[in-house]
Every structure is written in structure tokens, then in C-alpha cells.
Structure 1
């Protein structure tokens, strides 16, 4: 059910990895990685493009365009099939381990005949890697941790993939005759960063039509079980989808029950028992008489229990029940509240679209203001110069206010050096409207050194936002080690906002860290870090994460009017 762009992106990324594993040209592998990223972020459907149209995509030349056309016509790419045949699938699996690259995977296979994650884990435990060059104690510990991350991820899929799949299924089922209501529930409705099984609910008098439709969807790869009340299928991406059809009068109770979480439901059922009631997916009933007391809406179910309605993103048994009982639930931030994006990129560095296109797309989203924050020069691969950034500033000033009166802010994403310094001298930084500072290298500093590094960056009077603070990549790279309470206290003291990066493979800060930071009085910025026009829509994932961290409009600086935002960006000046 993925877009053709995403399918092609995944295949080209795999080919780049296969080239690297089999000792191919590093430049070639990099070229395919760039092309994959460009296609994945391209706004138009590549399935609708001919070879000439494909070559208009940045980093897509004739050879790559021909391969994409081949895949779109046949469902295969010959060069990928050939490379796959050269190396066992288990070795390809090794590079999915966070921290283990293609070269190390190839060495493990050639020198120790390791061809699976299980074999690698056993080899580390048996100390078989000790004499292998490049696999010292620190590297082995990183690989061990990477295996743990991979195993924890298991069959869970990213939030973005689950949401795309759910919305496609809901759209299909909602159009069927007899459908009163249809939506998704479970951990997806709670906006967890990864999703195991996808729960879809339908309100209808009869279920057969909906069960059959789910089984016959193009994305259905396997029917696990089919029944009158519940049908389970598995998609081509490996995501299990459970469909339940409820009587319309039980819709609210069903939504409450199947949204979860398990811990939250235990608390609500306990409340019901203490009141002589019984709560199930069909309603809230008097335990003695069996009389239905509430079922049609979630609001009435919660109200009958003596609770205010609790937003789904808060239902994790982290104090929401107590807050609802005492009228202290936060009015969590919504996507509609966000007035602008404060971390985005253009093709001046590693973005895919020119400044004008990104600005126009932001204006279409109805933003009141929008910041462009291309990379600074210490990220050498981007080849930023003073002249380039100043020319961009001049062009941005020309565009300011020309799109639906949206105001434009000129910023930059600085690189935090190992000692906590950043690009450009203070007098040059003073010319920016805002500065995001992020870690892009040296992730393995010790806890104390990393803490000092982050604290110094936050104390810089020109740093306004700490971008993707922990640097984690979900399921691929753990966050850096630091004394985060010290970092959070520093952010609060210096007026440095913490970013909630909305890219679905980051969602950094994660919800647990947001809850901790909020206790220190920190302010936050929910940004997309968009490198292409379609990525501006990732805001929804960042907002969901912010909600899970109990953030309100007052906590999030890019929900504020521009005058208040500018005052914050002056950082006490």
C-alpha cells in the first residue's frame, strides 16, 4: 500500500547497500542513495512519469531512470536481483543492525562465515570477534546494543507506514454500503512511534461485506483469520490488520476499549467495578441488572465513570486518570495550533526543492511564518559558504510576505562540535533570525563529555533550538548518552527550546523525554526538518509525539504569535 515513490526508494536503497556489501564502487552506492532519497521525497507519483520526467528529479540520471522504468513495468529490477544472488539473505539482514555497516557485514561473512543476526549474536557471546581487525571491545558492544534494538523493534512498523496503511483501508471501507462509522484505533490512534498490529473499527449492522472487502484489498498479502466479528490479514509490508465490526450503538465503548492502552483500560475497568459497573467493548453496564448506561460515544462512557474525556495520546496510565478525575487534563497542542515550521531545508544544501517551492508549499499549509534553516559550513559535505547563505537571505527577504502574507525567517542549522562550539563567529550568527543547533557527528563521546558539549551549545546566546536532541533513529541508532536532566535544566535556564523533530524515523525528543523536560520548565518547537515538499506533512507525527508528552500551546513556541516568538528568539536580549 506504499506509494510507488516509496517502493522505488526502498529498492534503490537496498541496491546501494548491496553494492557496498559486495565491495562495489562507493561513489556508485552513494549515487543510488541520493537518487533514492530524491525519489522518496518527490511530490509527483513516479509511476506517472516517463524516463524524461524521471530525469528531471534531482540526482536521477539516465541509467537510474531506466532502472526505475524497468521496475514500474515488471515489478523487478535486474541489477538488484543479480546482486541479491551474490550474497546470502542473512548477510543482507546484518546491515539492518544499527551500527553495523556493509563493509563490516562483508568481513564477518568472509572471515567468520557469519550469515545471520542470530549467528552474529552467538559469535559475540563466544568472543569469536576478538581477533578480527576493526571489531574491538567498543565495536562489539555497539553491535550487541544494535542487535537488541533490532530485536526490540521486532515486527513493529513505523508510525508513518501504519498511518498510511490505516487511512487507505479506512477510505475503502468507509465507502461501502451500510458503513455508519469507520476509523483506526489501538496504538496508532495513540500515536505511538511504532505500531505492532493495526486495529480498524467499523460500525454497521452487518459485517460480511466489510470482512470480504478487507480480504480482497490489493495490499492484502495473507488472510490470517476470517470471522463474523473479527478478520485479520497481513499486508505486503508485514503489518497485521485486525478489523472488528461493532453494532452502531456500541461505537463509543468500542473506541474506548480498542484504543487502549492495556494499562489505561485496566484503570478504567477498575473504576467501573468500584462503582458497581462493568465496562466492555459493547458498553458500560450496571453489574447487577445488566442495563446499558453508556456506549454510543467515548465522551459519555468517560463521563459516566466520573472522568473528563481523555485524548487518545494521553491514554498510557501516566497520570491521565488522576488528572481527569480532578479536572486537570492539559489541553494538548493540535496540528491546527501550529503557526509555522522552524526547521526546514532547501536544495542549497541537502534538500530536494528550491527555496521558492518550499516557501510556496509552506504558505499552502496556512502558516503565519516559516523558517528556512539550511546546514552550516562545518557539515562539509554540504559545501555551505558565507556567500551562499547571504545570497539566500537576500532572496528570502524578497519573498517575505509575498505568499499569503506569510512572514519568512532566515535561519541555519548549526553543527555542534565535540567541544560544544558551533559554526560561524558570533557577529555572523547575529544576522540570523534563529539558529537551530544539532549533533551530526561524534555520537560516541562519553556521558560527561556529551553533557558538557550540549550544555555549552545551549549556553551560546545565538542558539535558539536544540535540534533532534538525542540524534536517535528509531530502530537504527540509539540516542546519545548524556545527563539529560542537566541538559533540560540548561535549556530552561538559557531560553533554548528543545525540538520535537517530526521526521517519523526520529520523533526526537521522544514522549518520555518530553515529559521529563517539561518538568524543568523547558519550551519546545515541533518542527518537520523537511528536506522536500512532501515532508512538510510530517508535522502530524511531531504533534502526536508532543501530545504524548502532554504539551500545550503555551509549551510550544511555534504555536505563538510572531511577536511573542521573536521575543523568545532574542534569548533574553
Structure 2
């Protein structure tokens, strides 16, 4: 994706955030937020577009197009700069705290003089928020937890940020003379949700050309340490990247060594030690003679240890060693297994592309079936009506005539109300092919109430999938509190699938809860929740999360043939 698109989208999103702080028009703020998503996902580099071309971006009208033209000409947006000058930087920093809204951040500044996260933390601990209008005991607890979430995130980035950076580096270095092999390793290869630094591994007989090309990349802001075996740099985004170069004959051992978690690697080294061997990044050696045993491929290394090759996403010492020994490693689901997408949006609600474009993109992906699931009316801000959703259904029927190899399913994303109810009555719901139900409000209900809410939704005969179940936003919103064992038992009993939402800031269900749900016999759906064509590329992150949860294709309903999927959808009690 063009860097200009990302920068401009960030500025438009910041404009929305700044207007939220100053009490701007809610409709205009939502328009900016929607435009920011469209700009980030636009396939053309916006820096090459004139005003007419900018206006062709979905949801970008005359006013926003002029702001983008301003960005193209000056590198910034004047209105953003003006609002920045009006609002203290500390207040803007406070808005990054999960659970703290922009208006409350402004109140804290105006009433208490709080203008930094550190000052807010101190104010909370001293009880200074008590008695402040709009701030109760629950607000204080939420802010304390939000600060904790923010500090836990630290300088880590979401997996997609790290993956796109690593992909670019690998692509840039692949053709350097002497480069035999190159890939990313570490926690990114294990598809962790957040990444602290990026590890890139290469094989070459002469590491110097690779190291020189690496440090000369435009994204490098600072060389932290250099050498023939390892060079570390700080990128312009602040992320550290380590490039390690090993001899080609050591490739397999190095890839195994630099991929596994510390706990996994300790286990494999212990196995080697008990066999009179020594395992390092250069190979598996005989402890007595120092003679090399194997090193060229990961498969050879694991085989010599008496284990089958273990998929990178399982290398966390979470039972994979025992499963490997006993022949119980699962055949993990892959992106190639996915036949359909059961949760996507169009510009009828908060998507940025029209129905026709989203369907065409689904067909281009080679999907066998594809569901449109725009928001239902209880999410009032999306302005859905019965008439709009029924008109969409008719348009889908017309479009279906144009697509022989793609079955278009008409669905909706329902809202799970605080009591577990959903939008529309049973008769109206019966007209849909597939229904996803999600929590979009009242995130702070207590455990008992939230559990009843999910169980009631699962027991609804028209709800097929629970969307992004924990409702978390990684680094910005804590997961809801529920008795997940009770929820998963209800989902298994009622034949309700749990979603794995592919958005990098969701990845929801997370891997630990996937494994927990799997024990109850729950089925899953890996969905992009795409609001733009560009979001389809997030599938890799949802699949990676599913793999970390040990899922096989049989566990995932949208890997199934359409007739089996329809049977599952029709068998709700």
C-alpha cells in the first residue's frame, strides 16, 4: 500500500479525533472516519491523483478531496494543524488511553490540569477524579485499566504492521547477489498478535552485500549495531529490525532456532542434550566430537530429535512437543482451505465500497461463497432500515445471475442487546442466509450479565455466528468479561459458531480462547469483517490466529463445501 495513502488516512482520522474532542458534528466525524478507511484501502497512490481522481475514492466528497489535495501539496492538512494548535498535545495523548473518550480527556485537562498519561495515573491514584462531574467509581476503574493496557502494549506493534514491514524488507533483499534464502522469523513467523521487533533471516556465503543493502534501505533511520552475522536497525517508524545472515548449510537449524519461543527452544535443546547432542543456530552437533549431525532444513533437525516438523504457529511450548511425540499434531487450517467469507460490509452501512465492487473482489479471490452482512438497525448510527436491507437482497439476486462460480449469501450483522436480544423479529430474520451477532455496546456489563447475554444470543435459532466475541481492540479496549466456559458450552449445544475476526486489532477470538472453545466441540468461522476491498488481505492474520488455536479445516465452517455449510446453518435448534 502506498505510504501517502496511510499518512493521509492517519491525518483524516486525526481530524475526526480532534473534532471529537472539540465537540464537532457527529455526522461529520463519522464521515471523516469512513473516509479514512477508504483512503487507507484505496488501490491507487493518492499522491498521483488530482482533485477529480481523489473524488472518485469511495466516501470522499468535495470537501475531503480538497483536504487530500492540501496534503498532496503540503504534506499536511491545514485544518488538522489549526486544531492541533487549539488542543494541548497532552490531551491528544490522553485520547489514546483505551476506555477514555475525547470529551472526558478535555474535561480532565480543563478541570484538573491533567495533560499526560503519567499525570492522569497519579490523579487516579490520589482519588482526584472522585466528585468530578461525569466520573464515577466505574470510570476511575476503567481509566486505571486503560492505562495498564496502554503500558502493556509499550512499543509493540500489531502483527500487520510488522508483517508488511518484513515483507518489504524480504522483497528488497531477495535479489541481492549471493542471497540464497531469506524470510522473517521470530514472533512474527509464529503470528503473535503484537510484535516487539522484527527478525529477518538470510542465508549467504558472503553476508556483506546483504548487510550493506539492508542498512541502505530508505526505511532505515538508524543503524544500532552492525556486523557480518547480525545487523540491527531502527526504522523510520521506530521499529527495530534485526537481520541475521548464516551460511546456507546452517539454514534449517537457524530457522528453527530463531523461530521458536524461548520456552519451545529450551524444550528442543533439552531433547538434544538427552540424546548426546547440542542444538544451536548453526546446527545439531555431537556433544563429544563436535561433529555436525544435521542443519540444512528444519525437517531434518526435528526428525533427528525424534519429532515431526512442528508448524511455526505452534512453537510456544503449549503441548506441541507432547503432541508431536504422540503423533497428535493437527493438520492446521490454511488460507488455501478457506472457501468463503461470512462477515463483510458495504457502503450501505459503514463499509467504503459498494456491493458490486465487494462481490467482484470476492469472485477475484476465487471464493466459492460470499456473505454480505451489513449492520442491522439497532446500531442506530449506521441508519439501516427494513427497506434498505430488502432492496439489497433484491440487488444480490440480480448480481447472482452474473456470477456462476460464486454463491452470494445475504446476511446481516446483528447487535446483541444488553439482555441478549437481537435486531428484527423471528419472521424477518428467517429471510436471511446467514446471521452474525455481535456485541457493539455496554462492554462493561458484569460477568454474570455478559454471560447471560451471550448464552441468550446462542440460543436464538436465527443466530449462526457470534462475531468478534470478546469485542476487544488490541491495545485500545479490554475484552468483555464473561464465563467463557459457559458461553462455549452453549455455543456447542446450540450449533453456534464462534468467529475469528481477521482485523489485526481484533484477532478475536484470541488463540487461548479458541483452544478452550475447541475442547467443547465448538465450530469456528474465520472472517475478514472487510469494510473495504483492501481488508480481504487480513485473512492471513485470522488464519494465523486459528493455527495458534490448533484448528483444523474441519473445525472451520467456511472451509466446508457450500452444501455442508448450508446444512450447518439450517440445523440450529
Q: TM-score, normalised by structure 2?
A: 0.97
Indicate if the aligned counterparts of 2:471 and 2:508 stay in contact, CA closer than 8 A: yes
Is the deviation greater in 372-381 or in 298-307?
Answer: 372-381
Partner of 1:408, secondary structure, is: strand
Partner of 2:551, secondary structure, is: coil
Indicate if the aligned counterparts of 1:278 and 1:287 stay in contact, CA closer than 8 A: yes
Deviations 1:336-392 (A, max 9, x none): 000000111111111111111111100111111111111111111222222221221
What aligned pairs does 1:64-463 form with structure 2 within 5 A after superposition? 64-400=64-400, 402-463=402-463
Partner of 1:149, secondary structure, is: helix
**Residues in 1 aligned to 2:250 and 2:36: alpha-carbon distance in whole angstroms:** 46
Indicate if the aligned counterparts of 1:166 and 1:198 stay in contact, CA closer than 8 A: yes
Do residues 493 (structure 1) and 493 (structure 2) align? yes
Q: Extract structure 1 runs of 4+ deviating beyond 4 A.
A: 22-28
Partner of 2:442, secondary structure, is: coil
Partner of 1:182, secondary structure, is: strand
Indicate if the aligned counterparts of 1:182 and 1:201 stay in contact, CA closer than 8 A: yes
Deviations 1:41-83 (A, max 9, x none): 3233222221111112233233322222232333233332333
**Residues in 1 aligned to 2:23 and 2:382: alpha-carbon distance in whole angstroms:** 26
**Residues in 2 aligned to 1:74 and 1:212: alpha-carbon distance in whole angstroms:** 33
Query: What is the Cα deviation at residue 103 of structure 1?
Result: 1.0
RMSD: 1.5
Map of 1:469 onto structure 2: 469
Indicate if the aligned counterparts of 1:468 and 1:508 stay in contact, CA closer than 8 A: yes
Map of 2:7 onto structure 1: 7
Query: What is the Cα deviation at residue 18 of structure 1?
Result: 2.3
Map of 2:520 onto structure 1: 520
Indicate if the aligned counterparts of 1:458 and 1:466 stay in contact, CA closer than 8 A: yes
Map of 2:478 onto structure 1: 478
Deviations 1:163-212 (A, max 9, x none): 11000000000011111001100111001111110000111111122222
Partner of 2:80, secondary structure, is: helix
**Residues in 2 aligned to 1:441 and 1:224: alpha-carbon distance in whole angstroms:** 45
**Residues in 1 aligned to 2:380 and 2:204: alpha-carbon distance in whole angstroms:** 58
Cα distance change, pair 339–508 in 1 and its aligned pair in 2 (3 A) = same
Query: What is the Cα deviation at residue 148 of structure 1?
Result: 0.5
**Residues in 2 aligned to 1:30 and 1:399: alpha-carbon distance in whole angstroms:** 29
Query: What is the Cα deviation at residue 155 of structure 1?
Result: 0.5
Deviations 1:531-566 (A, max 9, x none): 111111211111000000000011000000111100
Map of 2:530 onto structure 1: 530
Cα distance change, pair 401–184 in 1 and its aligned pair in 2 (3 A) = farther
**Residues in 2 aligned to 1:526 and 1:27: alpha-carbon distance in whole angstroms:** 32
What is the number of residues matched between the two proteins? 573
Indicate if the aligned counterparts of 1:233 and 1:240 stay in contact, CA closer than 8 A: yes
Query: What is the Cα deviation at residue 85 of structure 1?
Result: 3.1
Indicate if the aligned counterparts of 1:186 and 1:260 stay in contact, CA closer than 8 A: yes
Cα distance change, pair 218–70 in 1 and its aligned pair in 2 (3 A) = farther
**Residues in 2 aligned to 1:19 and 1:449: alpha-carbon distance in whole angstroms:** 34
Indicate if the aligned counterparts of 2:451 and 2:484 stay in contact, CA closer than 8 A: yes
Indicate if the aligned counterparts of 1:401 and 1:407 stay in contact, CA closer than 8 A: no
**Residues in 1 aligned to 2:139 and 2:106: alpha-carbon distance in whole angstroms:** 16
Deviations 1:12-51 (A, max 9, x none): 1122222333455555444322321221232332222211
Unaligned runs of 5+ in 1: none
Partner of 1:183, secondary structure, is: strand
Query: What is the Cα deviation at residue 492 of structure 1?
Result: 0.2
**Residues in 1 aligned to 2:404 and 2:236: alpha-carbon distance in whole angstroms:** 42
Map of 1:556 onto structure 2: 556
Indicate if the aligned counterparts of 1:491 and 1:522 stay in contact, CA closer than 8 A: yes
Unaligned runs of 5+ in 2: none
**Residues in 1 aligned to 2:340 and 2:366: alpha-carbon distance in whole angstroms:** 9
Is the deviation greater in 396-405 or in 522-531?
Answer: 396-405
Query: What is the Cα deviation at residue 233 of structure 1?
Result: 1.1
**Residues in 2 aligned to 1:78 and 1:128: alpha-carbon distance in whole angstroms:** 36
Cα distance change, pair 23–569 in 1 and its aligned pair in 2 (3 A) = closer
**Residues in 1 aligned to 2:2 and 2:476: alpha-carbon distance in whole angstroms:** 21
**Residues in 1 aligned to 2:162 and 2:448: alpha-carbon distance in whole angstroms:** 38
**Residues in 2 aligned to 1:419 and 1:28: alpha-carbon distance in whole angstroms:** 31
Indicate if the aligned counterparts of 1:412 and 1:436 stay in contact, CA closer than 8 A: yes
**Residues in 1 aligned to 2:231 and 2:86: alpha-carbon distance in whole angstroms:** 40
Indicate if the aligned counterparts of 1:363 and 1:404 stay in contact, CA closer than 8 A: no
Query: What is the Cα deviation at residue 501 of structure 1?
Result: 0.4
Query: What is the Cα deviation at residue 508 of structure 1?
Result: 0.4
Q: TM-score, normalised by structure 1?
A: 0.97
Partner of 1:545, secondary structure, is: helix
**Residues in 2 aligned to 1:28 and 1:457: alpha-carbon distance in whole angstroms:** 33
Deviations 1:220-250 (A, max 9, x none): 2222112221111112222110011111111
Indicate if the aligned counterparts of 1:401 and 1:408 stay in contact, CA closer than 8 A: no
Indicate if the aligned counterparts of 2:98 and 2:150 stay in contact, CA closer than 8 A: yes
Indicate if the aligned counterparts of 2:496 and 2:572 stay in contact, CA closer than 8 A: no
Is the deviation greater in 144-153 or in 222-231?
Answer: 222-231
Cα distance change, pair 97–454 in 1 and its aligned pair in 2 (3 A) = same
**Residues in 2 aligned to 1:542 and 1:346: alpha-carbon distance in whole angstroms:** 20
Partner of 2:224, secondary structure, is: strand
**Residues in 2 aligned to 1:233 and 1:277: alpha-carbon distance in whole angstroms:** 34
**Residues in 2 aligned to 1:314 and 1:384: alpha-carbon distance in whole angstroms:** 42
**Residues in 1 aligned to 2:87 and 2:374: alpha-carbon distance in whole angstroms:** 39
Partner of 2:44, secondary structure, is: coil
Is the deviation greater in 383-392 or in 537-546?
Answer: 383-392
